[in-house]
Structure 1
Amino acid sequence: MSLLRGALRRFSLKLLLLQIGLALVVFLMALLWLRLPDASVLWVIVSFVFGLLIAAVAGAGQSWIALWVARQTCKRKRLLAGSIAIVAAVAVWLLATHWIEPLHSNDFQRASYLNSQTPRSLRYFFTFDRIYKMLDWLWSTLSWIIVSVLTVFSFAVILGRVRGALRSLFSLTWWVVFLALTWLASAVTGWILGWVPGRGLKVEALSLVARLLFVVLFDGLVASFLLALLAETQATPGGMPETSQPRTEANP
C-alpha cells in the first residue's frame, strides 16, 4: 500500500497533460510522415530522416517525463540513453509480436483439440468459445508481460539505476496493478471504440469524437499512473540517496 500512496503523491494533472501532449505530438508527426511521398530518392531520404526525428522526439520526450516524475535532474546524457533504450525496447517488442503472432494464429485448432479432449462432464463449462477466449487472454497477458519488462528496464536506463529495475520486477504490487490496469484499459478502449449509437451519420460522428476524447483521457490516465508507480518502485528504499550520490554526512 505504501507504493500506491507514493504513486498517488507523484501523480498529478501536469503529468497527465504531459503524457497526452507527447502522445498527440508523436501521433501528428506520424500522420505527416505517412503522407510524405516516395517518388524519388530524395523523398526517401527525407522520409528516413523524418522517421528518425519522430523516434528522437518520442524517446527524448518520454525520457524527460520519466526524469521529471522521478524527481531527477534532466541531463543530456540521460535523455540520450533514454531515447536509445526506448527505441531498442520498441524494436524488441516488434520482434516479440512477430514471434507471438504465429502462435496466436493457431488458436482455432488448439481450441478445437482441447475441447475434444475435455471430459464430457466439463464440456458445459469449457466450451469451444471459452477455450478460444482463454487462449486469446493467454497471448494478450504474455504480450503485456513483455511490455512490462521492457518498460521497467527502459525506465531504469533513463534513471541510470539498474537495481531499480530489479526492485520493480520483484514487486508484487507493480505486477498486480500493471496487469489489472492494462487489462482494464484494453477492455474499456475496445468497448468504447466498438460501440456505435446508430442514430444517423451526424450523431455517429459526434459520438466518435467524444469516444476518442474519452479513450485518450482514460488511457493517458492509466499510463500516467503506471509511470508514477514505476518511479515509486524504482525509488531508493527509505528515501536514502544512491551510493553514487554525494551525502551531507558520512556513513556511520
Structure 2
Amino acid sequence: MSAANPYRRHLILLIALAGLAGLVTATALILSLGIGGPISTALIGLISTIVGSAISFGAVTVHDARRQEEEIKAMRASLYAEIVDRVARCANDYIEPWRGWGTRKIVGEDAKFLPSLPLVLPAVAGKVGLLDAEVLLAVTQFYFRLSVLRDAIELVSNDPDTSEAIRLNRVNMIQKRFLSCFDPALRSLKLLEVPGWQQFDLEAAKVYPHLKKEAGSFREILERFAALAASENIV
C-alpha cells in the first residue's frame, strides 16, 4: 500500500497530529470550566491555540520535507534511467560503426545515429536545481556533450558530399565527441546513487547488441572509453 502511495504514512501522521491538537483544545476547555475564572479560561484558550498551531506547522513542515525527499529520489531514478539508456546507445554506436569507420563514405542515412532527444531532463527542469551541485554539474555536462554529438552527426549527414580530407576530419570529430560523452555519463551514474542501479545497467545493455562485443560489465566499458578520452585529452 505504501509503495502505491508514498505519502500515505505522512497523511496518517498529519491526521494523528491534528487529533492531538483537538484533544489538547478539548482538555483546555474542560479545565477552564473546572477552574471557572475568566482569566484562566482566556489563558488556557491561548495556550491551546499556540500548541495546536505549533503542531500543525510542524506536521506540515515535516510532510513537505518528506515529500521533497521522495520527489528528489524519483527524479534521480528517472534521470538515471534516461542517462544510462542514452550513454548505452552512444557506446553501442561508437563500437559499431564509428570507432572503426575506415574508408566508408558518410551518407544522409547516417542521420540514424543521431542521439535521441532527452525527455526526462525537460520534464524535471524546474526541480533539477534540488540536486547536489556535483551531481547537477555532471548531469548537465553529459546532456551538453550529447547535444554537441547530435549537432555534429546532423551536420555531416546533411552535407555528405565532401572531399576525402574533410570526410576524415569529420569522422575524427564525431569519434571524439562520442568519447567526450562517457566520462560525464559515468560520473552522473555514480553520483546519482540510485538503489538497484545494476538492474538499470543490465536492462540498458540488453537493448544494444554491439555492447556484447566488449569485455567487462557495462560500467567497465564506460570506464575504458572514458580513460581513452582522457588519454587523448578529449574534453
TM range (shorter): under 0.3
Q: Which has the higher contact order (CA 8 A, sep 6+)?
A: 1
**TM-score under structure 2 normalisation?**
0.28
Instruction: Give the number of the structure whose alpha-carbon radius of gyration is greater.
Output: 2
